[in-house]
């Protein structure tokens, strides 16, 4: 029985790292403990957790260098309870690798484009301890390709892997069954994601202003929250789109699936993504994707999507308008996207690959 400690910042409704860890905790031969660096107790956790599948440890950091949290993390790492540490996020991951005893094997997962998503300071923080990882996993080939030359020197090619994030197909199908309170009789375009500059929802709002001029009853649903929300709401008011745009705020994952199921298109105007679970979930809900023309989204969506320049709202408007006006073409893409999501990116595949990697690394240190 291998006992794995997974270090996360927190657990939130869309924390795919926790989803994979929880599913790994149900695997025979594995015992999984999830340590949350910032959450202080179960009351801080904003998503359902299965404490029969995983054990939880809360470090309650009130700042990055909270001395109590650092002492608590060091105590966990040196307790002798664990056979492997799995780091997942930039700062807490670097801290965990720095504090771990040399005898404790480490798997690290990189979830974002190093060149487009992280600042120089974030990359420097991460790189200081990246060499401590026995294996470094990227959540896409695009993420792996974004590593800087010095990171490739720190992590030899034999220690680099790609393991895609998977989605819970059963949970998606269960949420889509039965009545749906989010149903609409209007043509609906939906996007899902944190409202931050990288996600670039402003381009989508500008594109939708053009779309609604030729498809007057169309609506845009923006799922999520974040620091850009107020600016986006002002933009919607400036375009006088109030009757056409809905901000849902943060909703449960079940409701995310229901909203997607009640939509016609999924749109994503991000400047960068590490993998984009939201895109795969939309594909698995049977939506045709219109997404940014960036390498990782080609990797995820293949030829099922229509791609547009994320800096060109007109190109996005044209793509969305074309599909809304051609239901048959939209349905063909939706069917192909659904098939791809279910065959290429099921959560079970991610779990199998991580389980095999854990076994491999632990065996090396045995």
Q: For residue range 50-65, what is the model confidence (pLDDT) as tens digits?
A: 999 999 999 999 999 9
* Shared-domain flag, residues 161 and 185: no
* Shared-domain flag, residues 253 and 327: yes
* Shared-domain flag, residues 225 and 258: yes
Total residue length of the chain: 366
How far is it, in rounded angstroms, from Cα 191 to Cα 204? 9
* Residue 4 contacts residue 33 (beta carbons within 8 Å): yes
How far is it, in rounded angstroms, from Cα 296 to Cα 146? 11
Q: Residues 242-270, buried b or exposed e (16+ Cβ, 10 A)?
A: eebbbebeebebebbbbbbbbbbbbbbbb
Q: Is the pLDDT of residue 96 over 90?
A: yes
Q: If pLDDT is split at 50, 70 and 90, which confidence band does 178 have?
A: confident
Residues of the chain with pLDDT > 70, as a percent, come to 100
Mean pLDDT of 308-329: 97
Closest by CA position to 150, among listed 120, 171, 183: 120
β strands within the chain, DSSP E: 2-8, 30-36, 54-58, 84-87, 106-110, 135-138, 160-162, 188-192, 219-223, 245-249, 265-268, 288-292, 306-308
Parallel, antiparallel or unpaired: strands 84-87 and 2-8 = parallel
Task: Give the mean pLDDT of the chain.
Answer: 96
In the structure, how many helices (H) and strands (E) does the chain have? 15, 13
Range of the domain at 300: 169-344
How far is it, in rounded angstroms, from Cα 42 to Cα 45? 5
Q: If pLDDT is split at 50, 70 and 90, which confidence band does 176 have?
A: very high
Q: What is the pLDDT of residue 66?
A: 97
* Shared-domain flag, residues 229 and 239: yes
Mean pLDDT of 23-33: 96
* Shared-domain flag, residues 203 and 130: no
pLDDT tens-place string over residues 269-295 = 999 999 999 999 999 999 999 999 999
How far is it, in rounded angstroms, from Cα 354 to Cα 61? 28
Q: If pLDDT is split at 50, 70 and 90, which confidence band does 13 have?
A: confident
Closest by CA position to 32, among listed 366, 355, 357, 364: 355
Q: What is the pLDDT of residue 12?
A: 87
* Residue 326 contacts residue 293 (beta carbons within 8 Å): no
Q: Is the pLDDT of residue 15 over 90?
A: no
* Shared-domain flag, residues 54 and 176: no
Q: What is the pLDDT of residue 206?
A: 97
Q: What is the pLDDT of residue 46?
A: 85
* Shared-domain flag, residues 353 and 327: no
* Shared-domain flag, residues 174 and 225: yes
Mean pLDDT of 296-318: 98
* Residue 243 contacts residue 267 (beta carbons within 8 Å): no
Q: What is the pLDDT of residue 80?
A: 96
pLDDT tens-place string over residues 66-94 = 999 999 999 999 999 999 999 998 899 99
pLDDT tens-place string over residues 227-254 = 999 999 999 999 999 999 999 999 999 9
Q: What is the chain's Cα-based Rg?
A: 21
Q: Is the pLDDT of residue 266 over 90?
A: yes
CATH code, 54: 3.40.50.2000
* Shared-domain flag, residues 86 and 198: no
Q: What is the pLDDT of residue 14?
A: 78
Q: What is the pLDDT of residue 249?
A: 95
* Shared-domain flag, residues 160 and 186: no
Q: What is the pLDDT of residue 199?
A: 96
pLDDT tens-place string over residues 147-168 = 999 999 999 999 999 999 999 9
* Shared-domain flag, residues 294 and 258: yes
What's the farthest any 2 CA atoms get from each other in the chain? 65
* Residue 289 contacts residue 319 (beta carbons within 8 Å): no
Whether the model pTM is above 0.85: yes
Q: How many domains does the chain have?
A: 2
Q: If pLDDT is split at 50, 70 and 90, which confidence band does 133 have?
A: very high
Closest by CA position to 278, among listed 224, 328, 240: 224
* Shared-domain flag, residues 316 and 208: yes
How far is it, in rounded angstroms, from Cα 275 to Cα 257? 18
């Amino acid at each position: 029985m291998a006992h794995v400690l997974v270090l996360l910042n927190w657990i939130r409704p869309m924390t795919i790292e926790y989803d994979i860890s929880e599913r790994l905790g149900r695997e025979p031969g594995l015992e999984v403990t999830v340590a949350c660096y910032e959450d202080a107790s179960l009351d801080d956790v904003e998503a359902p957790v299965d404490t029969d599948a995983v054990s939880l440890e809360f470090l309650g950091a009130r700042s990055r260098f909270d001395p109590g949290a650092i002492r608590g993390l060091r105590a966990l790492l040196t307790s002798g309870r664990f056979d492997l540490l799995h780091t997942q996020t930039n700062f807490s991951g670097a801290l965990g690798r720095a504090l771990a005893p040399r005898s404790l094997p480490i798997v690290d997962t990189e979830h974002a484009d190093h060149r487009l998503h992280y600042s120089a300071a974030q990359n420097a923080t991460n790189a200081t301890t990246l060499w401590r990882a026995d294996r470094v996993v990227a959540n896409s080939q695009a993420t792996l390709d974004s590593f800087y030359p010095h990171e490739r020197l720190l992590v030899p090619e034999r220690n680099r892997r790609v393991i895609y994030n998977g989605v819970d197909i059963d949970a998606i199908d269960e949420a889509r069954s039965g009545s749906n309170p989010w149903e609409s009789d209007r043509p609906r375009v939906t996007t899902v994601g944190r409202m931050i500059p990288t996600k670039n929802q402003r381009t989508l709002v500008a594109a939708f202003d053009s779309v609604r001029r030729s498809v007057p009853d169309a609506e845009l649903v923006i799922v999520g929250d974040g620091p850009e929300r107020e600016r986006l709401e002002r933009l919607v008011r400036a375009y006088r789109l109030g009757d056409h745009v809905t901000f849902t705020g943060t909703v449960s994952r079940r409701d995310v699936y229901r909203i997607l199921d009640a939509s016609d298109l999924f749109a994503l105007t991000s400047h960068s993504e590490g993998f984009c679970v939201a895109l795969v979930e939309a594909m698995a809900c049977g939506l045709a994707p219109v997404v940014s023309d960036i390498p990782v989204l080609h990797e995820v969506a293949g030829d099922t999507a229509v791609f547009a320049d994320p800096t060109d709202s007109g190109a996005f408007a044209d793509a969305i308008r074309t599909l809304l006006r051609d239901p048959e073409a939209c349905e063909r893409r939706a069917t192909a996207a659904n098939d791809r999501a279910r065959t290429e990116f099921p959560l079970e595949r991610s779990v199998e690959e991580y389980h095999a990697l854990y076994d491999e690394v632990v065996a090396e240190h045995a």
